[in-house]
Each structure stands twice: as structure tokens, then as C-alpha cells.
Structure 1
Amino acid sequence: MDLTDAKATGQQIPTAVHPKNKGPSRKISNPVDRDSRVYNMQHRCRGKAYIFNHDLFDASLKLSPRVGSKTDVSNLERALSQLDFEVLCFHNCDITSVRRNIKQLAELDHTDNDCVMVIVLSHGTHGMIYALDSYYHSDELWLPFTSDKCPSLAGKPKLFFIQACQGNKKDAGLTVQSDSSQMDSVAPQEYSIPTMADFMIAYSTIPGYVSWRNTTNGSWFIEALCEILITYGRQEDFLSMMTMVLLKVATLGRDYSQIPCVVSQLIRRVYFPPKQ
């Protein structure tokens, strides 16, 4: 059975407003040369991957249990462990715990890590994500990791995945038939990088639309993501794999369709070579 991760009542939630960052830029060490086309993924550790799984909610929120989400967690643990991530799972945290764990992750010393990854599996709507007892704006997940706030991750990939609805619209899709018979300069010592560089934020669906989840196999997006990472994780660069994920999810549905949304500020290619 396929369900969605929309808020049951379809209630509109106001978008949070965050103040603009101000202040002079700081000098920090960068783990890769300015003109390198790939990120340095040769640190001692791959890095931490935090999974926030929400499949139960406080009764006051009137949200249905997210049956099948535990399958997503199991698939993610397998896929990310094979790519050498240190995977930590947090189940049904309240909003205080979510914020505390994100803060603690951002405050760690990531000097010996290649990158960081955060994945949230929950209900959501209009830019908001639900914890056990309340909701928060999705940008609370990544703003603590900008290079000015988390200098040990400056110049390193910061990868975020949100499996949650972004509205209540359902995409009926369109049936199509294929017409095919087959389916050089020397870098300076110093340079500046934007504080929001090196981020990639992948949403399971586009703004305004629901995100589908199978009660047996897990969510369409996470199932596709894990399959692609397991199959191509050592061969392809990360954004090429995300394109494969989009294709797989976009062609999965029958009665309804879904297309994930990838927002990339990655300025180099990301590969996951094996660790020694």
C-alpha cells in the first residue's frame, strides 16, 4: 500500500523568517585546491551520517503513523555503511532533541572526515518537518553547518536528504510511449568561498506535492536512493547518481507520479572511494 507523508489535515503552516548573516569573512584552511574538480575524499574517515526517523507522533498533532519507515532506515544503514559512513539513527525525537543533536553534530571536529550527511524521514508540509511533538523549518537542519559556523567542514560536501511531503497536491503524471526500440593556472594560496557553498539538499518531492511511501518497501525516494548508492556508489559521482534516483522515482508510479527535487551548491564532483 502506498501512502503519503503529508500532514493529515493539510493545514498551512507559516514559513519561518531567519535574519541575514552579517560580519566579516574569516580565514580558514581548505582541504582542496581552488581549481580541483573533485572534493578531497581521502581523509581518514568518510564522516558521520545522522538519520532522524519519525514514524510515531504525539496525538495532539493528529498525524498518522508512518508505516514502512523502518524499512527506509534499514536500507539506509546498509547503503551508507557500504560507503564507509558512520551511521547513527535517532528514532522519534522530540523537537528539542532534534535541535540538540543537529547542534552537537555541527560542533564536532570534522577535520579527519570527508563530509557529513543528515537524513530526515517524517511527515511535512510547505517547508516544515515534523518531530515527535512539533514542527520546525527545514533550514534548521543545514544552517548550523555553513563554513562560518562549522569551519572543520569548510570546503567539504554537506549532504542533506528530506523524505517528507511539501504539500498536498498529487501528481497524476502522464502516460508516455517511447519511440525507441530500447530504453591550467596555479592556484593562489588564499581564496574565498561562499558560506553556503558545498551543500546539496535533496527533497523527496517538489514544493506543494505529496511524497509517496510504500508500507512494505518504504518510501519511493529512499528506496531508489539506496538502490543507486549500493549499485553505483563506488563508480559514479554523487550528482550523477542523484540523476539516476530522479529517473527511477519519476518512472516508478502508476496511478500517481513523483519527482524529487535536488538543490545543489556543490562546486566539485563527489566520489566515494573505498577507505583503507
Structure 2
Amino acid sequence: MSEEPQNNGNGDNGEKEQRPNGAGDEGDAWGSHDSSSIRRYAKMPVDRNAPYYNMNHKQRGMAIIFNHEHFDIHSLKSRTGTNVDCDNLSKVLKSIGFRVTVLTNLRAEDISRYIQQTSEMDHSDNDCLLIAVLTHGEMGMLYAKDTHYKPDNLWYYFTADKCPSLAGKPKLFFVQACQGDKLDGGITLSNRTETDGSSSTSYRIPIHADFLIVFSTVPGYYSWRNTTRGSWFMQALCDELRYSAAERDILTLLTFVCQRVALDFESNTPDMLTMHQQKQVPCITSMLTRLLIFGKK
């Protein structure tokens, strides 16, 4: 849950599959299916086979930062340094065109309400949506001021069926939080050793397409934050966005975020040897279906 100590600061051929008559696709699940998957329609923001997301709407879109410094839960220490993260992230997101809202020390109910209200807005003129959470966490849980909640509460209301004005658009989530208390001691490397031929103006997408979810660390592991400079992950993310957002696609950019965190940082706690010289690497889950480059706005 904690994320404290400091760093030294110094990534067919074209033949169709032949099926027997009457054969079709099957799922690997047993039992009844969710009947909510009714066909729905939303405006197409980009051509079916476009390689890039359309980032030429009137506005870049909303960026919401949930910043948690203090907690009502006695076992959770205040997150010294989180305001540095929040300020840096807010500035860099504004510089690439986002309309930034910072919400500080909200309770879980208020987070849920704000997210639901945001999903009910009209995002038709927006390129995308970005939500960042800076908080304590543990395996499968994030902490609000008063209690914990599941991370998927953050993106639940933004699936294409629930928020059609963001259907087909990138929905980006960045989470700076521990995902457990395991430590990564690292290792030293040594040089020793299909198309169907139809032409249609519409197409269907899965409701969970176009999401990008990035955690500051891998499941089960500690996430480090410097009390003066901010968290390792946010330092690296802000640097890459500041210098490369207009040129690199987001997954390439995030690869270099991972590289920065993995190589440039190491915990510096000589008075606590079990915590000393530990490493970290962010964890990326992408359901993006196109390349995303923010470009100039």
C-alpha cells in the first residue's frame, strides 16, 4: 500500500478458412450469456480501416486527475510528493490540448458519481478522454479518501454502449498506485555470457475496443514515489509526453516510459536494506485498434 522511499534518479495466404456447412464461431464459456449485447449504433469518428485515430475534432477532450494525498484510513500514510505529480501532469496535458480538471481527496462515492456524470456528457467534438488516478493501492484495489474500490469502476461507464459519443475514440487511463507489496530486486545483465470483399459504410466494434490502461507497476508489486520529485512513473510519463507526444504514437511513447522507469530509477533507502536498490516497470494493457498520435492542436 505504501509507495514512499526515494530514488537515485540516475522501453496467409489470402484464402478464407473453409468450414463445414452450418459451422460457425463459438465461445469458450459454459452457461447463459449476457442478453444486454443488443446491436446499437454510434457515429463513426474515422473510416473503418484508417490506421490512425481521428485527432482533428474541435477539442482534444477532457482530462480528469483524481489526486489523493490524505486518507481517512489510519493505515494509509499521506502521499507526500503526489502534488508534484499532479502539477506536472496537469501542465503537460494542458500543453497538448486537454481540458484538465483536478479533483483532490474525493471519497469513493464522489469518484463514481463524477465518472458517471462524465460518461453522460456529449463528447462528440472531442478527440478522446483521459483519466489519471494518483493514490495508494493494493492487488485489485485502489483507495479513495474513505475506502477502496475496484479499478474497473474507472472505465466501466465509458464502454461504447454506455458512452456512444466516445465510441471508436481513445479512452486512456493512467494509474499511479501500488498493486501489492512485492519488491522487484532486478537483475544485472552482463555481456559475458481477413477481408470479405464487401463495401459498407458502417462497421461494428467491440464495446471494450479503444481503451488503454496503464498502471505504474505490475500486478502484485510496489510502486515507488520520491517525496520531492514525485513518482517514478509520473516523472517518466510527463517527460515523454512533453517531448514526444506530437511525434510518437502512444504505445511507442509508453515503451520509452517503461524504459525510463526500468533503467533510470532505483530505490535509495540504505537504512532499510530490504527496500534498498529496488526496481520497477509499468504495466500496459492496450485495446487500441489504431495508432494514436496527439499531434498539434
Deviations 1:12-66 (A, max 9, x none): xxxxxxx9572312122110001000000000000000000001000x4420000
Runs of 4+ aligned residues of structure 1 deviating over 4 Å after TM superposition are 184-187
1:160: which partner in 2?
Answer: 173
Inter-CA distance 205–212: structure 2 relative to 1 (3 Å threshold): same
Deviations 1:207-229 (A, max 9, x none): 00010000001000011000000
Deviations 1:184-225 (A, max 9, x none): 988521110000000000000000001000000100001100
2:146: which partner in 1?
Answer: 133
2:136: which partner in 1?
Answer: 123
Distance in 2 of aligned mates of 1:186 and 1:221 = 45
Matched, 1:207 2:219: yes
Letter in 1 for 2:219: P
Kindly indicate whether the alpha-carbon contact (under 8 Å) linking 1:165 and 1:209 is maintained by their aligned counterparts in 2. Answer: yes
2:27: which partner in 1?
Answer: none
Tell me how far 1:74 sits from its aligned partner.
0.8
Q: 2:239 is matched with which residue: 227, 240, 248?
A: 227
Structure 1 segment 78-89 matched on structure 2, within 5 A: 78-89=91-102
Kindly indicate whether the alpha-carbon contact (under 8 Å) linking 1:147 and 1:154 is maintained by their aligned counterparts in 2. Answer: yes
Distance in 2 of aligned mates of 1:24 and 1:139 = 22
1:244: which partner in 2?
Answer: 256
Letter in 2 for 1:267: T
Distance in 2 of aligned mates of 1:186 and 1:25 = 20
Q: How many residues align?
A: 256
Kindly indicate whether the alpha-carbon contact (under 8 Å) linking 1:35 and 1:187 is maintained by their aligned counterparts in 2. Answer: no
Kindly indicate whether the alpha-carbon contact (under 8 Å) linking 1:61 and 1:133 is maintained by their aligned counterparts in 2. Answer: no
Q: Under a length normalisation based on structure 1, what TM-score does the superposition of the two structures give? A: 0.89
User: Which protein has the larger Cα radius of gyration, Structure 1 or Structure 2?
Assistant: 2
Deviations 1:93-130 (A, max 9, x none): 01111111111111110000000000000000011000
CA RMSD between the two structures? 1.9
SS at match of 1:47: strand
Q: 1:44 is matched with which residue: 58, 67, 80?
A: 58
Deviations 1:136-169 (A, max 9, x none): 0000000100000000000000000110011100
Segment drifting more, 32-41 vs 169-178: 169-178
Kindly indicate whether the alpha-carbon contact (under 8 Å) linking 1:146 and 1:154 is maintained by their aligned counterparts in 2. Answer: yes
Task: State the identity as a percent.
Answer: 45
Distance in 1 of aligned mates of 2:169 and 2:59 = 13
Distance in 2 of aligned mates of 1:227 and 1:178 = 30
Q: Which runs of 5+ in 1 are unaligned?
A: 6-18
1:259: which partner in 2?
Answer: 281
